[in-house]
Homo-oligomer: A and B are copies of this chain.
Amino acid sequence: MNNIPAQIIDGKTIAAAIRERVKDGVQALQQKGKSVSLTAILVGGAEAARVYAANQAKTCNEAGIEYSLLELPAETSQDDLLHQLDALARDRRVTGIMLHLPLPPGLNSQQAQFAIDVIKDVEGVNPSNIGHVLYGHPIISPCTASAALALIESTGVALRGAEVTVVGASRIAGRPIALLLTERGATVTVCQVDTRDVAAHCRRADVLVVAVGSASLISGDDIKPGAVVIDVGINRRIETAANGQTISRIVGDVDFESARTVAGWITPVPGGVGPMTVAMLLSNTLRAARLAWGVDTIW
A interface residues, Cβ below 8 angstroms from B: 108, 110-111, 114, 126-132, 134-137, 160-161, 163, 169, 171, 175-176, 178-179, 182, 185, 187-196, 201, 298-299
In the complex, the chain B residue whose C-beta lies closest to that of A114 is: B128
Point out the residues of chain B lying under 8 angstroms from A188, CB to CB.
189-190
In the complex, the chain B residue whose C-beta lies closest to that of A194 is: B161
Interface of A, secondary structure class, is mixed
In the complex, the chain B residue whose C-beta lies closest to that of A185 is: B194
Kindly provide the distance from the CB of A181 to the nearest chain B CB, expressed in whole angstroms. 10
Cross-chain contact of A196 among B132, B187, B189, B191 (Cβ < 8 A): B187
Q: Is the CB–CB distance between A187 and B190 below 8 Å?
A: yes
Point out the residues of chain B lying under 8 angstroms from A137, CB to CB.
110
In the complex, the chain B residue whose C-beta lies closest to that of A299 is: B111
A169, B161: Cα distance in complex, Å:
13
A192, B185: Cα distance in complex, Å:
7
A190, B171: Cα distance in complex, Å:
18
Q: Say whether, besides A185-B192, A192-B182, A131 and B126 are in contact (CB < 8 Å).
A: yes
Q: A127-B132, A136-B171 are in contact. List 4 more A-B contacts (CB 8 A).
A: A130-B131, A134-B171, A161-B196, A178-B178
Point out the residues of chain B lying under 8 angstroms from A130, CB to CB.
127, 130-131, 134-135
